[in-house]
Structure 1
Amino acid sequence: MNWFCRIIGLFTLLAGSLFSCAGTLAQFRTLLGDVEVELFDADKPATVENFLRYVKSGAYNKMILHRWKPGFVIQGGGFYVASRSGTNSIDPIPIFGTVTNEYNVGRTFSNVYGTLAMARVGGATNSASSQWFINLANNAFLDSVDGGFTVFGRVLRGTNVLNRFNNTSSSNSIFRLALASPLEDLPVLSAAPTFQDLAYADISLLSVQVMPKGAGGRDVSWMSVSNRPNHLEFTTDFRQSWKILVSTNGTGKTIQIHDTDTASSSRFYRVRVDY
């Protein structure tokens, strides 16, 4: 049996801050299903920090996937719809500036199927800002274009969703709408689309939160990964082994566990997910 274990987050009651033990996990929620992605924090720090800034600020709220090239890429991070009813418009996501290309920083990752990479202006190596794409095929030729397109994450779960975007049959219910550039390859979910039929997506981080309780102990909560074993673990010293506090099947929603421990002055938590 093949399985893959990732650490969602690691927190201490005293510091209350995130420690990077493995790549941050992000969940891309679409109308076609969820895609779970591991970000390469250690190897592409500036790129991941830039991406997380957009996620945490809410800039990707009400975002749409705006470029669909079957057998190549699906792209997002560039546009959103403020309201799906009433007077509608597709507006650009405000950018925070550009990020320096990190293709050759840390380990080098190729633009192969299922990887997440930064989009940018053609011919401008350091022009990446808010837009990203997921490779729908082996696009290794992108590794040598203008310094390489920076791969900063990979899909762990949800390739069935990616495969939907590679299916061009009419029965797949994804259609291409050709609007003015840069929306000439807009994916829609109806042959006669309205704003309701755009390929909406949102991104959330699978992080852990710890809240002390007045009567002692602490509540530990996290956005669980659905239909996978989620293991909440703890330790009082990083030099010691981690112990399982509870194991539960994820629901895709927030799970909260109360840790009754009152003897430890500090306690570290993490969540592991078996893939």
Structure 2
Amino acid sequence: MVRWLLALLLTAGTGGLTARGGTLVQFRTLVGDVEVELMDSDKPVTVQNFLHYVRAGSYATNNLFFHRLLPGFVLQGGGFGTRETRSATKAFVSARPIPTFPTITNEFAVGPKVSNTYGTIAMAKLGGNPNSASAQWFFNLANNGANLDAQNGGFTVFGRVVRGTNVLEFFNGLGKQLPPPAWSFFGVVDLRAWYASSTDPASVQFGNLFSDLPVNYLGNSYPTYADLFYVDISLLNVRVTRLANGAREIRWGTVAGRPNVVEYTQSFPPSWQTLARPTGDGTEQSVTDTSAGATSRFYRVRVEY
């Protein structure tokens, strides 16, 4: 089956030189993909902080996983990865904190005040410290504005899901299992229930860190590295520029090893036509639309899986 990612919808007409949308980010998970458009213009410090972690490989090189899930509230990541391979079936007793850069200034009240509504992504931070956000972020699984907009200076929303709310709904539907289950399930566990004692290696390492851990539990006596919900983050960052000769250059960060399809339409409802279909290599690529006849065209980039 072909699955595809709608990267961005942009227009380039005769009046402007460059058309830009927010940076497009793909979160790939075991149960599907979530695509998010970032609020580059409205929350610049927060967006650049997040992009710093992505571009530095802080998430990709550390086997990032979702470490906290409260169905009907938030799904949180950005804080922890593992040194083990993702398929390792030994007990999950060690996690790797994501190395952090300096914390950033809270931007909740900077520019438009964007509420923590369903389908937005916001920065996590320490209680009582509005300017403590660093690497961790969360998806709002409900309309949390009444709570999160009003405490700790407001939690800064810096992006919005444009595709993949079915993935959010999957996590929203998970239940919590306590005590440890004896059967396979997708769910949320309190890892403290598995600690044999206060001297258990996991207890010493984790403490209360993973009291709301989402797992794809495969029936082991203890959750393993293979049971975690890993997440891969990639950028597309599509830009459309009108050149001096009237042609349009479409430039984006490609997804490696997959067909990256550049399409355009001149009408709505759209009738998409393929302009180019290069295979991505993980670097930035561009294609040029040499047709200067249309006063306005809409473009999108999609990735086939």
TM-score interval for Structure 1 and Structure 2 normalised by the shorter chain = 0.7 to 0.9
User: Partner residue of 1:42?
Assistant: 41
Contact 1:228/1:249 (<8 A) preserved: no
How far does the alpha carbon of each residue in 1:233-257 deviate from its partner, in whole angstroms, 9 at most, with x for none?
Answer: 9xxxxxxxxxxxx943999x73978
Counterparts of 1:259 and 1:97, CA distance in 2: 39
User: Partner residue of 1:68?
Assistant: 69
- Displacement of 1:161 in angstroms is 0.4
Q: How does 1:159-238 map to 2 (within 5 A)?
A: 159-168=165-174, 173-179=186-192, 180-190=207-217, 191-192=219-220, 193-207=223-237, 222-223=253-254, 230-231=262-263
Counterparts of 1:221 and 1:42, CA distance in 2: 18
Find 2:104's aligned residue among 76, 99, 106: 99
Contact 1:75/1:132 (<8 A) preserved: yes
Q: Which moved more, 1:161-170 or 1:139-148?
A: 161-170
Contact 1:206/1:223 (<8 A) preserved: yes
Contact 2:263/2:276 (<8 A) preserved: no
- Displacement of 1:155 in angstroms is 0.5
SS, match of residue 55 in structure 2: helix
Contact 2:10/2:19 (<8 A) preserved: no
Structure 2 unmatched runs, 5+ = 1-5, 13-17, 178-183, 193-206, 240-248, 266-271, 291-297
Counterparts of 2:108 and 2:11, CA distance in 1: 25
Q: Which moved more, 1:77-86 or 1:167-176?
A: 167-176
- Displacement of 1:187 in angstroms is 0.7
Q: How does 1:82-97 map to 2 (within 5 A)?
A: 82-84=83-85, 85=88, 89-97=94-102
4+ residue segments displaced more than 4 Å? 7-10, 169-172, 218-222, 226-230, 255-261
Find 2:129's aligned residue among 124, 127, 132: 124
Counterparts of 2:252 and 2:137, CA distance in 1: 29
User: Partner residue of 1:22?
Assistant: 21
Counterparts of 1:6 and 1:219, CA distance in 2: 11
Counterparts of 2:228 and 2:260, CA distance in 1: 29
User: Partner residue of 1:78?
Assistant: 79
Find 1:152's aligned residue among 135, 158, 162: 158
User: Partner residue of 2:141?
Assistant: 136
The residue type paired with residue 205 of structure 1 is L
Counterparts of 2:276 and 2:227, CA distance in 1: 29
Structure 1 95/258 Cα, relative in aligned 2: closer, same or farther at 3 Å? closer
Q: Which structure has the bigger radius of gyration?
A: 2
Counterparts of 1:228 and 1:197, CA distance in 2: 31
SS, match of residue 107 in structure 1: coil
How far does the alpha carbon of each residue in 1:98-117 deviate from its partner, in whole angstroms, 9 at most, with x for none?
Answer: 00000011111100110000
Structure 1 unmatched runs, 5+ = 11-18, 210-217, 234-245, 262-269
- Displacement of 1:231 in angstroms is 2.3
- Displacement of 1:272 in angstroms is 2.4
Contact 1:229/1:247 (<8 A) preserved: no
- Displacement of 1:94 in angstroms is 0.5
Say whether residues 1:112 and 2:125 are aligned partners: no
RMSD, matched Cα: 3.9
User: Partner residue of 1:214?
Assistant: none
Contact 2:69/2:214 (<8 A) preserved: yes
How far does the alpha carbon of each residue in 1:55-88 deviate from its partner, in whole angstroms, 9 at most, with x for none?
Answer: 0011011101000101100000000112224987
Q: How does 1:247-266 map to 2 (within 5 A)?
A: 247-248=273-274, 254=280
- Displacement of 1:126 in angstroms is 0.3
Contact 1:68/1:176 (<8 A) preserved: no
Q: Which moved more, 1:169-178 or 1:65-74?
A: 169-178
Structure 1 142/163 Cα, relative in aligned 2: closer, same or farther at 3 Å? same
The residue type paired with residue 22 of structure 1 is G
SS, match of residue 65 in structure 1: coil
Counterparts of 1:250 and 1:134, CA distance in 2: 33
